[in-house]
Amino acid sequence: MSIQVRKQRLYEDLVEDIRRQINSGDLLADHYLLPEYELAKKYEMSSRAVRQGLARLEAEGLIRRHQGRGTIVLPVKEKIEPPSKVKNVAVIFQGRVSDTSTAEELDGLQQAFQREGYGTTLYVADGIPEAETQIVEQLAAEGVPGLVLYSAHSITSYAHLRAAQQAGMKVVVYDHDFPELDINFVGIDDQLAAREATEHLIRLGCGELVLINSERDWTTATLRQNGFTDAAAEAGHGLRTRIIRVPSGETPSQRIECLRRELSPILETAQRPLGVLAWWDEIAVCAIDCLRDAGWSVPADARVVGIGNDRSGALAAIPLTTMETPRREIIRLAAAALVNQMRYPNCPPQRIRLKARMIIRESCGNYWRPDHTHAGKAGTSKNVSTTNAIAV
């Protein structure tokens, strides 16, 4: 099987063309570039891609962007350093780059590194471990100093990251950890998040619980299963639990089909109300659709909780209760950890886990308070936990 490694080139044509025009004198110092919307039209790309390209040129010292005034070409004497010597870090994503939430993560990383004087280059591995390995090996061979990675590899498959470290690259992984590897990690406390979500379903009177987990051998999946089973075991009283696993890389229709197959035999004998915890908001929304197709009412017959606080859950026909992942804080801390280790190579790696925050919506019914009284309307959004405690 041939693996195609794609370097993200959404803005490279713009960067190369403007850089060429500046170096050749076609674009003179103190002249303004076209507005962003005209550049997007000229280079046939999105406004976000234009902003990423301009950020790269600004990091190289070729231009300067002024809020409300436009983008000006800098004189040669004000250039920070030649493009070939610009400090650059790499970011590897696993597809879905067009998603709004992913675009926000990319912008957040880019801005965080830019403030520290680093440019960023995006690579997409499309969820293929072999492609990720090839990209990391390529970056290590090129001497790229730092990498931020959302990995597609299983919990024990990290030889490519160890090799990159041995080559001198500093690495930060986020969301998906490799506990046996001495590496920077930033994410949520998955075990605590699943535990609190499960406890909430138990408090709402669910006598039977289902965890819909990822089929991938990830630390995230293991920790969430541990949190789910721990909460159920502490509740006692013969609480019945089921665990099913579904793929994450399928289309929505394929995910629903898989969920329907897995849930169907459970629903034939399950007692109501049933509590369902899904490892990802999109999966939780699919589960609600499957439940309703089978004649179950949400939240009367089944209460559903997801993890992530994606837009898919907030905008669903039945808004989803979720454990919110603090994406901005994770991105900020990931960038800070990488910059810190690149500047101070002897600094030990950091492992940071943030506390997820529960947001109550209609999929769980009325808002639950710690005194076991109910208040508010179904469908209202309340923040049950407001503390983002950091565990290192």
Chain centroid offset of residue 236 CA: 34
- pLDDT values of the chain reduced to their tens digit, one per residue, 392 residues: 333 333 445 678 888 899 888 888 888 888 889 998 889 888 888 887 888 788 878 877 888 887 777 898 888 654 444 444 457 898 887 765 555 666 777 788 888 888 888 888 888 887 788 999 999 999 999 899 999 998 988 888 999 999 999 999 999 999 889 999 999 999 999 999 999 999 999 999 998 999 999 888 889 999 999 999 999 999 877 789 999 998 866 677 787 888 899 999 999 999 899 999 999 898 999 999 999 999 999 999 999 999 999 888 889 999 999 999 998 899 899 999 999 999 888 888 999 999 999 999 999 986 444 443 333 333 333 333 333 333 33
Backbone phi, psi, residue 166, to 5°: -65, -25
- Other Cβ atoms less than 10 A from the Cβ of 23: the count is 12
**Single-letter residue type at 191:** Q
- Which positions ≥6 away from 1 have C-beta within 8 Å? none
Contact (CB, 8 A) for 349 and 341 = yes
All domains of the chain in start order, with CATH? 1-85 (1.10.10.10), 190-326+356-391 (3.40.50.2300)
- Judged on CB neighbours under 10 Å (0-12, 13-18, 19+), 251 is exposed
Question: Bridge partners of 352?
Answer: 186
Beta carbons of 187 and 354 less than 8 angstroms apart: yes
In this structure, the strands spanning 184-188 and 321-324 are: unpaired
**What is the C-alpha separation between 308 and 123, in angstroms, rounded?**
23
Return the residue matching tokens 């040129």.
Answer: 57
Cβ partners under 8 Å of residue 157, min gap 6 = 129
The token duo for 209 is: 């619980």
pLDDT in tens, 78-118: 444 444 445 789 888 776 555 566 677 778 888 888 888 88
Provide the 3-class DSSP secondary structure of residue 12.
Answer: helix
Choose among 377, 243, 363: nearest CA to 301: 363
CB 193 within 8 Å of CB 221 = no
Cα–Cα dist 336/347, whole Å: 13
Task: Return the half-sphere exposure (C-beta side, CA atoms, 13 A cut-off) of residue 4.
Answer: 2
157 SS3 class: coil
Task: Tell me the H-state helices in the chain.
Answer: 12-24, 36-43, 47-59, 100-115, 129-142, 159-166, 190-203, 219-235, 252-269, 281-293, 311-314, 327-343
b/e sequence 272-310, b meaning 16+ C-beta within 10 Å: ebbbbbbbbbbbbbbbbbbbeeeebebbebbbbbbbbbb
User: 18 φ, ψ to 5°?
Assistant: -70, -40
Sequential DSSP letters for 258-314? HHHHHHHHHHHH--SSEEEEESSHHHHHHHHHHHHHTT--TTTTEEEEEEE--HHHH
Tokens describing residue 97? 């780059």
Residues 6+ positions from 327 with CB-CB distance below 8 Å: 101, 104, 105, 108
d(CA 264, CA 111) in angstroms, rounded, equals 46
pTM: 0.71
